[in-house]
Amino acid sequence: MRGRVRVRFLDVRPLRSSRSFRHLWLGTSASQLGGQIANVAVLAQVWDLTGSPVGTGAIGLATGLPMVLFGLLGGTLADTFDRRAVVRATTAGQLLAAAGLGAQALAGNRNVLLLALVAMGTSCGALGAPARRTFPVRLLPGEQVAAGLALTNVSFQAAMLAGPAMAGLIIARWDVPAAYATQAVAVAVSMLTVIRLPSMRPEGADAVGGRHRPERGGWRIVLRRPTLWGSMATDLSATLLAMPVALFPLVNEIRFGGNPQTLGLFLSAVAVGGITAGMLSGTVTRWRRGGLVQLSAAGIWGLALACFGLAGPLWLALGCLAVAGAADTVSVVTRSALVQLETPDAYRGRVSSVEHVIGVAGLELGNFRGGLLASATSASFSLVFGGLSAILVIAAVSVTNAPLRAYRTPPGAAKPTAPEVADAAVTAG
């Protein structure tokens, strides 16, 4: 990071160098877009069935609980079986759930079958998520892993922007079943790309029958490696203490008259910032100081949201959110690359499940914390206090975790050492 910084646009080396990653990226992009379209369709159908915010709130239970429960189980599956087979099976389950959603909509369903199918699709996705997270580091050389994750993040941000708009057009013209059919096609495309990937059995595990015996201590390795717990603690601090989405309606009501268009702009500003950072990610992904980059980006996230809490003019509020979205993208990409590169392959499934659960729990609990504090004080206080608190905790992690500050992306296809070797090095240090 020293010397003159050369601005580089989106790093597309992974798409050129690895045909398998290219297939994975296309399938993942299609699945993400289909998921965003389905989210809007589910929201519209539940509102039509219930006409109640309690009903739409139940969607959160149908998605949040399976993400946490099955995400952890998925980590064990990823370290036990061929990861391609795990993702293939869980994607097939998602395809069945998408087809079921379309069928129940065509049949004029008026009961809770809808939420059961949503929970089924989410459960399958959560079971496969840890295994899917390990794919880029197996398909790409070490110095391209962050670039591959940046490409995936850009496609996700693009899906967040385009998906809801496409869903609105599809539902308005062909009704809800067509939106579910679109999701089913997208998941089918994703499944075809997974089938074309090479077999990816966990490395360094003992074979037992048709499966592998996972190495012991799969989740404890997070606590035994400062780079891993420091990176995850940084992410949890940023989301748990400064997550702003639950406060958007209140801020919009108090400062901007409750205009629904303004509320939409809040969410769009975050996505625009994320996409912009993604399109310039070629600069970040070539920096080897991943730990320092994540710490800095997480701190900027907290500062930007604290400033959003004080911003008066709409242009300034949107600017703060765009900066926050950009910082979040940089933090997510560098954290994900660090976690995958620092974890021995035999443990990657379970460590990825911890990362997945922290991401889900941090978002939901962070929104709950922000809403609870705002109800007792004000939206501005909740945002400013949360942002500054996040900065303080992240600074504490930085000061106390020298290995994370000093972390450098390994060159080429370098692999992390076994836990016993790493523990000895830490003890000696």
Cα separations in angstroms, 394 against 8, 68, 162, 281? 27, 24, 33, 22
**Within this chain, do residues 302 and 347 fall inside the same structural domain, yes or no?**
yes
In a domain, 34, yes or no: yes
Cross-strand pairs, 213: 206
User: What pLDDT score was predicted for residue 424?
Assistant: 33
**Within this chain, do residues 79 and 117 fall inside the same structural domain, yes or no?**
yes
**Within this chain, do residues 343 and 399 fall inside the same structural domain, yes or no?**
yes
User: What pLDDT score was predicted for residue 324?
Assistant: 95
Q: In which band, very low, low, confident or very high, does the pLDDT at 268 lie, cut at 50, 70 and 90?
A: confident
In a domain, 104, yes or no: yes
User: What pLDDT score was predicted for residue 125?
Assistant: 92
Residue 54, token pair as written in the block = 């309690």
**Within this chain, do residues 262 and 335 fall inside the same structural domain, yes or no?**
yes
**First-to-last C-alpha distance (Å) of the chain:** 25
**Within this chain, do residues 303 and 339 fall inside the same structural domain, yes or no?**
yes
User: What pLDDT score was predicted for residue 252?
Assistant: 85
**Within this chain, do residues 195 and 228 fall inside the same structural domain, yes or no?**
no
Of 202, 230, 256, the residue at which a domain comes to its end is: 202
Cα separations in angstroms, 180 against 61, 149, 155, 170, 187? 20, 27, 20, 10, 11
User: What pLDDT score was predicted for residue 84?
Assistant: 93
Q: Which helix (H) or strand (E) holds 261?
A: helix 260-279
CA–CA–CA angle 32, 231, 332 (5° rounding): 25
**Within this chain, do residues 184 and 67 fall inside the same structural domain, yes or no?**
yes
Q: Is the Cβ–Cβ distance between 184 and 95 less than 8 Å?
A: yes
**Within this chain, do residues 163 and 262 fall inside the same structural domain, yes or no?**
no
In a domain, 38, yes or no: yes
User: 257-289: string of b/e by CB count within 10 Å (b at 16+)?
Assistant: eeeeebbebbbbbbbbbbbbbbebbbbbbebbb
**Within this chain, do residues 336 and 242 fall inside the same structural domain, yes or no?**
yes
In a domain, 5, yes or no: no
Residue 24 reports pLDDT greater than 50 = yes
Which range is least confidently modeled, 220-234, 393-407, 409-423? 409-423
Q: Which helix (H) or strand (E) holds 9?
A: none
Residue 14 reports pLDDT greater than 50 = yes
pLDDT tens string 64-114: 788 888 988 898 898 888 999 999 999 999 999 999 999 999 988 777 788
User: What pLDDT score was predicted for residue 224?
Assistant: 87
In a domain, 144, yes or no: yes
200 burial class (0-12, 13-18, 19+ CB within 10 angstroms)?
buried
Which range is least confidently modeled, 38-52, 235-249, 274-288, 344-358? 274-288
Closest CA to 262 of 205, 329, 311, 335: 311
Handedness of CA 354, 357, 361, 362 (dihedral sign): positive
Residue 344, token pair as written in the block = 């021995």
Q: In which band, very low, low, confident or very high, does the pLDDT at 260 lie, cut at 50, 70 and 90?
A: low
**Within this chain, do residues 188 and 315 fall inside the same structural domain, yes or no?**
no
Long-range contacts of range 395-402, CB-CB < 8 Å, 24 or more positions apart?
395/299, 397/230, 397/233, 397/234, 397/237, 397/295, 398/295, 401/226, 401/227, 401/230, 402/226
**Within this chain, do residues 169 and 302 fall inside the same structural domain, yes or no?**
no
3-state secondary structure of 51: coil
Residue 282, token pair as written in the block = 């070629």
Q: Which helix (H) or strand (E) holds 281?
A: helix 281-285
Q: In which band, very low, low, confident or very high, does the pLDDT at 420 lie, cut at 50, 70 and 90?
A: very low
* Residues listed for the chain: 429
Could you please report the per-residue DSSP string of 245-258? GGGHHHHHHHHHTT
The CATH number that applies at residue 18 is: 1.20.1250.20
In a domain, 346, yes or no: yes
**Within this chain, do residues 226 and 175 fall inside the same structural domain, yes or no?**
no
Q: In which band, very low, low, confident or very high, does the pLDDT at 145 lie, cut at 50, 70 and 90?
A: confident
Spatial separation of the C-alpha atoms in residues 276 and 287, rounded to whole Å: 18
User: What pLDDT score was predicted for residue 385?
Assistant: 96
The domain tally of the chain equals: 2
Residue 118 reports pLDDT greater than 80 = yes
In a domain, 159, yes or no: yes
Residue type, 397: V
151 burial class (0-12, 13-18, 19+ CB within 10 angstroms)?
buried
Spatial separation of the C-alpha atoms in residues 111 and 390, rounded to whole Å: 42
Which range is least confidently modeled, 2-16, 35-49, 216-230, 384-398? 2-16
In a domain, 8, yes or no: no
Q: In which band, very low, low, confident or very high, does the pLDDT at 427 lie, cut at 50, 70 and 90?
A: very low
Residue 235 reports pLDDT greater than 90 = yes
User: What pLDDT score was predicted for residue 179?
Assistant: 92
Closest CA to 190 of 78, 19, 37, 29: 29
- Strand spans (E) along 19-68: none
Task: Give residue for tokens 């201590």.
Answer: 217
> Which residue range(s) make up the domain with 98?
13-202
Spatial separation of the C-alpha atoms in residues 21 and 120, rounded to whole Å: 27
Of 167, 202, 237, the residue at which a domain comes to its end is: 202
What SS3 string covers 173-209?
Answer: HHCHHHHHHHHHHHHHHHHHHHHCCCCCCCCCCEEEC
Of 202, 231, 253, the residue at which a domain comes to its end is: 202
DSSP state at residue 143:
G
Q: Which helix (H) or strand (E) holds 414?
A: none
Could you please report the per-residue DSSP string of 351-401? HHHHHHHHHHHHHHHHHHHHHHHHHHS-HHHHHHHHHHHHHHHHHHHHHH-
